[in-house]
Amino acid sequence: MNHLQEAFGHRTLEEIEVAEVSDYKDDIKCISPWAVIYDNNFYYLLAYDGKKMRVYRIDHMEGVEVEEAEAEGLEEFKKIKLSDYTKQTFGMYSGELQSVTMRFPNNMVGTVLDRFGREVTLM
């Protein structure tokens, strides 16, 4: 975790360094970290992997090292509104955005609005 904090530091977005992370699949990734997200009792790192923005669970990372390299993905990061991003994902799983219809008891309305916001359509 100290290396992640070092990568963010007090730098501007353009100066964030690239962190090398090993996730639970035991492979090594060189990524550019952009944000830390807290969701459902876990911390996640939103980072650019050279192709797209991805989310990594921080407690699954081992051997994080900071490299002196220019961060990538600034344009992709600027497209993301974090408050909307967290509402649109479950457990930070990525995928295509889809509309869904859910059925739940009336006494769960408050919970649904807390999780998805007031923009949801209730019938």
SS3 2: helix
Q: Whole-angstrom Cα distance, residue 40 to residue 4?
A: 20
For the entire predicted model, the pTM comes to: 0.64
Mean pLDDT along residues 75-82? 88
Given a cut of 80, is residue 98 above it in pLDDT?
Answer: no
Residue 91 has a pLDDT of 53
N-term to C-term CA, the chain: 44
- The residues pairing with 32 across neighbouring beta strands, listed in sequence order, are 48
pLDDT of 87 over the 70 cut: no
* pLDDT given at position 113: 76
Q: Mind listing the pLDDT tens digit for each residue in 103-115?
A: 888 888 887 777 6
Structure tokens given for 107: 């006494």
Could you give the CA distance from residue 48 to residue 119 in angstroms, rounded to a whole number?
29
